[in-house]
Amino acid sequence: MAAFETLMCPSLGGRSLSDLPNELISMIAELLEKADLLKLQELKNQAISKAIDHVYARTVFSHQRCKTTDASIARLNTVTRSRFAKHVRTIEFDIQFHCPRPERQEEKEPEEEGQREDEDEGSPCIDVRLRMGGLQDQLVGIFERTVNLKKLVVLAPTALTGTRAGHGSFHQVGGYVVFARASAHPDHPHVVDIQSFRLLYYTLTRSMRGVIPQLDELVIANFAQSQWQSSLTPQNPVVGTLNEWPAMHNLKVLDLQLELYTHRSDIAVRRIVASIGDNARLQVLKLRAGPWGASKFQTRSEGWAPLLQLLGTNPPFRLRTLEIDSLVTSATAPTLDRIINVHAASIRRLVLTRFHLYRPNSFRAFFAALAETNIEHFELWKFWLHGRSWVVNSTLTHSILSDEDFFDANDEESSDWVNISWVRHGSEGGITYDNAGDLRGEGWMKDRLMEAVTMVDSGALPDF
């Protein structure tokens, strides 16, 4: 920052900053933080503003975060109608979840509290609070004007603002989600109009169709973290129009965190497969199935079979990253070792959370296939093997106990004792191997993976 303060002085080595060549000023601007660029812009110096214009526009306008409020939508609309529209690379829609009702400061009598709760549960205090009329046309216009847009993010609400209490428990009544009182003195039980949020989700996704063919990344996140968040999307959140998007056939990164209901149907997964099946550019695939799928992953199902079939039968793409939550392998689709072999030359990161592997898949074959790749990061959490046992990461450790812990110190026949125990790594015993950049040495990852193969070969881990 000291260097920047020097630049802000009236002179610099006998010359003002504006006297320097534009190329040099631009090079200096490349080294500055966003806040410093804003300060330079505030100088209202025409020469400096001209020299830093490209860097300023790229830094300030490349990432647009838009809350789902009328004011924020209007601001984004203004930006995309300006000369800065061509600099927008990322748009992030942050769905707002806010209760505007003021907190009650005084504790009411029990009768009044009961009456108030009945009234609150009859009318929602949380809805989209956004004028939906004409919203889709506004969004289509925004996407049409951001010709260099590369990344689109839609975020579900993660916290309830405007209240003292947390979420607590909840229940669904018709088109409402009702949060129970979450503390000894809450303001009121919050009632959410989920239909308004579902309409907003549908409007956002529908407006993207056909207008952003140049998109590289699509992220729809946080809708799978809990049941109340998953309820904010339609019953089929992977809308049928997804495979109609030109962008879906051209993405490099697809990250969907939605309730896919994979425990009872493969419809959502089939729609995803239809969207990416001919995409030769896809490198990163992240899918999180949601709370219902997460609660049923120990039960065999064929909900993921269409995706496993695509990944294991020579798709047009080769994945660098694959992350799946609540994956249940298939009795009919290609096995995981075959899928790993298909993507062996490219795969660098594999994360499986709430993972159920069963026959004809083999633990040994899976780890042996991974050992022959150049994978740099591998994680398994809540690994359910062959429908009967958990696989956790633990280490056999020992500690030497002093004689005094057991015997009289004067007892010459006493000897040291050793306490041997298993230490589980992580709260859930997850397996994490990371060797990014070969920081642990070449071959470290292969050695760790082959240790698992040795466990099966030695009989320590039954693979049947």
Query: What residue spans define the domains of the chain?
Result: 1-61
- Looking at the chain, how many residues does it have? 464
CB 317 within 8 A of CB 323: no
Residues 6+ apart with CB under 8 A from 384: 297, 298, 354, 355, 356, 357, 390, 391
Residue 428: pLDDT band (50, 70, 90) is low
Residues 6+ apart with CB under 8 A from 164: 103, 183, 185, 186, 187
Rounded Cα distance between 414 and 404, Å, is 9
Looking at per-residue pLDDT, the higher value among 7 and 155 belongs to 155
| CA-to-CA dists, residue 228 to 145, 169, 175, 196, 418, angstroms | 35, 10, 12, 14, 50
Q: β-strands 377-385, 431-434: how paired?
A: antiparallel
Q: What is the pLDDT of residues 123-156, one digit of tens each?
A: 788 888 888 888 999 999 999 999 999 999 999 9
Query: Is residue 160 scored above 80 in pLDDT?
Result: no
Q: What is the pLDDT of residues 282-330, one digit of tens each?
A: 999 999 988 887 888 999 999 999 999 999 999 999 999 999 999 999 9
In the chain, % of residues over pLDDT 90: 42
Q: What is the pLDDT of residues 41-78, one digit of tens each?
A: 777 777 777 777 777 778 788 999 999 999 999 999 99
The predicted pLDDT at position 239 comes to 55
Q: What is the pLDDT of residues 92-114, one digit of tens each?
A: 999 988 777 654 444 444 444 44
CB 121 within 8 A of CB 175: no
CB 269 within 8 A of CB 301: no
Residue 224: pLDDT band (50, 70, 90) is confident
Of 292, 322, 130, 154, the closest CA to residue 222 belongs to: 154
Q: What is the pLDDT of residues 363-382, one digit of tens each?
A: 999 999 999 999 999 999 99
Structure tokens given for 196 = 């308004």
Cα angle 357-363-365, degrees, rounded to a multiple of 5? 120
What residue has token string 């997850």?
A: 430
| CA-to-CA dists, residue 38 to 23, 41, 48, 65, angstroms | 19, 5, 12, 18
Residue 361: pLDDT band (50, 70, 90) is very high
Looking at per-residue pLDDT, the higher value among 119 and 253 belongs to 253
Q: At 382, give phi and psi (nearest 5°).
A: 55, 65
Rounded Cα distance between 361 and 363, Å, is 7
Structure tokens given for 197 = 């949020």
In the chain, % of residues over pLDDT 70: 78
Give the up-direction half-sphere exposure of residue 55: CA atoms within 13 A in the CB hemisphere: 24
Q: Say if residue 360 is preceded by a cis peptide, omega within 30 of 0.
A: yes
The predicted pLDDT at position 242 comes to 64
| CA-to-CA dists, residue 352 to 175, 191, 297, 323, 423, angstroms | 34, 35, 12, 6, 22
Average pLDDT, the chain: 81
* Chain centroid, CA 117 distance in Å: 35
One-letter amino acid of 296: K
Most confident of 29-43, 173-187, 279-293: 279-293
CB 289 within 8 A of CB 223: no
Collapsing DSSP to helix, strand or coil, 218 comes out as strand
- CB atoms under 10 Å from CB of 70, counted, come to 12
Q: What is the pLDDT of residues 262-288, one digit of tens each?
A: 888 888 899 899 889 999 999 999 999
Average pLDDT of 10-38?
Answer: 71
